[in-house]
Amino acid sequence: MKTKDYRNELNEKGMKFTRHRSMILMILDNAPNPLSIEEIFLKMKEKGSKVSLSTVYRTMEALTENELVIRTAFMDDNRSRYEYNRKVHKHLLVCTGCSRTVSVEDCPVEEYAASLCFRECFELTGHRMEIYGICPECKSNAK
């Protein structure tokens, strides 16, 4: 697990540096998939943190409001999941069997989103796309 000092990112957003904020950002930065608040809480406990679940909820809300993390909800369970905001445009393939995600770097909807917003007189501020399916491991386990 890579360690990094998140002090600058927090300071740039006007947020105070705390152990809990730094640990949450590190966990999300190193996670291969977006995590639920409960998963983040358990990972913090594994690392010896004495944090409460309510503190994790409050911290995640502050980190989301300040755009240091991205909140998403997958169609299959509609639970909020969070990922470190790397400020990279991407889309996701999501396995409905195990919730594994795969980043898709190219954007097939960029032009469509722009034309749709132009037609409806909207100002385009961003978009997200998630495609659902079954990953190869879940497919082979089902056979």
CB-based contacts of 26: which residues, under 8 Å, 6+ apart? 1, 3, 4, 6
Same fold, 1-87 and 88-143: no
Cα–Cα dist 111/4, whole Å: 36
73-113 tens-digit pLDDT = 776 677 888 989 887 777 888 888 887 888 787 887 888 88
53-68: average pLDDT: 96
Instruction: Give 85-99 as a DSSP string.
Output: ------EEEEETTT-
What is the radius of gyration, based on Cα positions, of the chain?
17
Q: Which two tokens stand for residue 50?
A: 């004495």
Confidence category of residue 2, pLDDT binned at 50, 70, 90 = low
Instruction: Report domain extents, the chain.
Output: 1-87, 88-143
| Beta strand segments in 1-143, E | 69-73, 80-84, 91-95, 101-104, 130-133
1-87 maps to CATH 1.10.10.10? yes
Of the CATH numbers 3.40.50.1220, 3.30.470.20, 3.90.1150.10, 3.30.1490.190, which one belongs to the domain with range 88-143? 3.30.1490.190
108-133: average pLDDT: 86
Cα–Cα dist 4/32, whole Å: 16
